[in-house]
Structure 1
Amino acid sequence: MTDDGLIFAYRLDGQGGGTPLSLAEVTTLPQPTDPWVWAHFDGSTAAAKAWLEQESGLPALVIAALLKERTRPRVEVFEEEGVLINLRGTNSAENAVPEDMVSVRLWISGRRVITVRLRPLRTVNDLRDRIEAHVGPRSGGDVLTSLALSLIDRMSPILEALNIQLDLAEDSLIHQPKLDLRRRIVTVRRRVIMMRRHIAPQREVVAVLKNSHATWFTVNDRRHLHEAYDRMALYVDDLDTMRERSQIIQDELTSYMNARLNRNTYLLSLIASIFLPLTFVTGLFGINVGGIPGSDNPSAFGWFVGSLVVVMVIQFVVLRAIKWF
């Protein structure tokens, strides 16, 4: 990245490659017959903000949207001026949480594509590598569709990992439930909700784009947008299913814990029912006052213990007869 906030810029050759451009060359607006230009900026730098505000020629509302700190997936058509698009991708930075999704903002107008990021997004760098290898996007519409499909591709492993975690949780619930299962389910459910919160609006963005009448969309671009929409819809359905599965697992775990608590309470009640009369008798015979039967008889203790055993057996039989256990 240069000191002017420009990460990279290319004049696309229409064959999958491109010629690197400087910021001054990006500032010059391409003519309708010129090749497409793609410029990618780091919106967190003062230089990029200054260029967007002073030299880009973009509407003030668009500039504010490109530099906004907190965004959500959106698409806005500014009639003849251009199209503003916000997309989100998984955070693939080291030690980052994947569902903490990173946004990329696009402005497509004329023959120029301007993208802005506030945090690094590996998908954009992948497209840059493809241009360097001459297998990248060929037009502005191709930049958009390639970016959308690449963002979707990076979501797939995360969704698969969440599904695997739910499978393991279900197996654990069936075979050997553990107390830490509740924490694991809550974590998975939180991740699913966070991802759906971003993916569902992004699906609607793609739906608007695939039905738009932008003249710079080719037949191939529209085909890719339809594919992107289908995959996003599938991901949203998968996330809804995972959310329901996690809720079912959590409910089953709660039922298991309640059943376990009830069983333990039942056992304590059963033990208390058996030993309460015995405790009363032993307490009665343990008082230090005169007149205790058998106090002068050496065999009285044996008879007393034997009588306690008899009482215990009688209680066991009675409780069994009334089906306490």
Structure 2
Amino acid sequence: MAEETMDELTNCWLLDGSGGGNKLIWEQAVSQHVDAKASLWLHLNYSQPEVQEWMVECSGLSALTVEALLQVETRPRCVMADGGLMLFLRAVNLNPGADPEDMVSLRLWVGEKRIYTLGLRKLLSLDDMRESIHQGMGPETTGDFLVQLVELLLDRAGVVIEDLYDLVDQLEESVLLVSSHQQRGQIASIRRQTIALRRFLAPQREALNRLSSERTVILTDEHHLRLREAFDRLTRFVEDLDAARERAGVVHESLISNLTEQTNTRMYVLAIISAIFLPLSFLTGLLGINVGGIPGADSPLGFAVVTLSIIVIAGGLWAFFRWRDWF
């Protein structure tokens, strides 16, 4: 496999055990992979045939594990596999021009000295991980890597959910002030986002619950504590999504009620106007028929009398409607 091809498909780091690490080219990564004395992290693009071939032949994982890691569609879950932890996660999509709810799939296998992460699209949380390693503030062990990555994913998801919650707050306030059909589109967008996010975050919560209870040499007691905190945090995110969806539903009902009330008010005003002008139209129509004997046809005051009569009738109808409290 050509070096330049693999460099395009992989990101290889050798952790130094103190929070830092060295970025490796593919040949160096393969050498360390064969005789790993320090923790090695390989990030691979699972859609490339070269990567799939390497995973099958050289990764050291069983065929069933490799097949699971290379699946096209995955759901969040956690299982023990080949002496390590296999984890399938979803991350919010914060790439430019992307929708956050179009969540990015991330597959991991974490052993005592090896870490495989596989993805197809750019993930900002992995960029955060690389930057922390570059600054010497990254993970010291593979267990540290796993826990820190989970926390980074939740940090990004928390920002998106908080923004979504703030948007619901703004809509609630705006609906109280003024209601418009444009707000219906915003509410529909919020409900669509909450449904899409919850679709993967809810099973991911169960995956973290399973991960926090796994007893393995990879995870220390501190790791289990941090994972339990991550589970509680993700539980709160799911509850916030449920609350946001319910609040959006209430806002939608309030908006529909306001719009219906506005429509009814307009229709009522039009009905009142029609009730006033209906007898006036009948009168003018009657006087406009082309037959003899129309009153005032030969009088110079005929138009003035008719106009005054119309004004008096309209005023009388208005006074009658006001007396009846019809408007």
* Structure-2 separation of matches of 1:24 and 1:156: 36
The residue number in structure 2 matching 1:60 is 63
Q: How has the CA–CA distance of structure 1 residues 161 and 152 changed in structure 2, closer, same or farther, with 3 Å as cutoff?
A: same
For residues 56-95 of structure 1, the C-alpha deviation after alignment (integer angstroms, 9 at most, x for no partner) is 23222322222222222111233x5433211111222222
Structure 2, unmatched stretches of 5+, are none
Contact 2:45 2:118 in 1 (8 A): yes
Structure 2 residue identity aligned to 1:88: R
The residue number in structure 2 matching 1:211 is 213
Q: CA deviation at 1:47?
A: 1.4
SS in 1 for 2:12: strand
Q: How has the CA–CA distance of structure 1 residues 29 and 110 changed in structure 2, closer, same or farther, with 3 Å as cutoff?
A: farther
Q: CA deviation at 1:274?
A: 0.8
The residue number in structure 1 matching 2:326 is 324
Structure 1, unmatched stretches of 5+, are none
Are 1:283 and 2:289 an aligned pair?
no
SS in 2 for 1:204: helix
1:25 aligned to 2, 26, 31, which one?
A: 31
The residue number in structure 1 matching 2:39 is 36
The residue number in structure 2 matching 1:258 is 260
SS in 1 for 2:317: helix
Moved over 4 A (4+): none
* Structure-2 separation of matches of 1:323 and 1:147: 68
After superposition, where does 1:63-212 map in structure 2 within 5 Å? Answer: 63-78=66-81, 81-212=83-214
Which stretch shows the higher mean deviation, 287-296 or 166-175?
166-175
SS in 2 for 1:3: helix
TM-score by length of 2: 0.90
TM-score by length of 1: 0.91
Structure 1 residue identity aligned to 2:294: I
* Structure-1 separation of matches of 2:10 and 2:58: 17
* Structure-1 separation of matches of 2:33 and 2:39: 13
SS in 2 for 1:216: coil
Structure 1 residue identity aligned to 2:178: Q
Structure 2 residue identity aligned to 1:123: S
Q: How has the CA–CA distance of structure 1 residues 2 and 103 changed in structure 2, closer, same or farther, with 3 Å as cutoff?
A: farther
Contact 1:7 1:40 in 2 (8 A): yes
* Structure-2 separation of matches of 1:65 and 1:45: 16
1:51 aligned to 44, 51, 54, which one?
A: 54
Q: CA deviation at 1:118?
A: 1.0
Structure 2 residue identity aligned to 1:236: V
Q: CA deviation at 1:20?
A: 4.6
* Structure-2 separation of matches of 1:62 and 1:128: 26
Q: CA deviation at 1:283?
A: 0.6
Q: CA deviation at 1:110?
A: 4.6
Aligned residues: 321
* Structure-2 separation of matches of 1:74 and 1:176: 45
Q: How has the CA–CA distance of structure 1 residues 307 and 125 changed in structure 2, closer, same or farther, with 3 Å as cutoff?
A: closer
Which stretch shows the higher mean deviation, 144-153 or 210-219?
210-219
Contact 2:17 2:38 in 1 (8 A): yes
Q: CA deviation at 1:184?
A: 1.9
Indicate the percent of aligned positions where both proteins have the same amino acid: 37
For residues 21-72 of structure 1, the C-alpha deviation after alignment (integer angstroms, 9 at most, x for no partner) is 5242254265xxx443322212122211110122223222322222222222
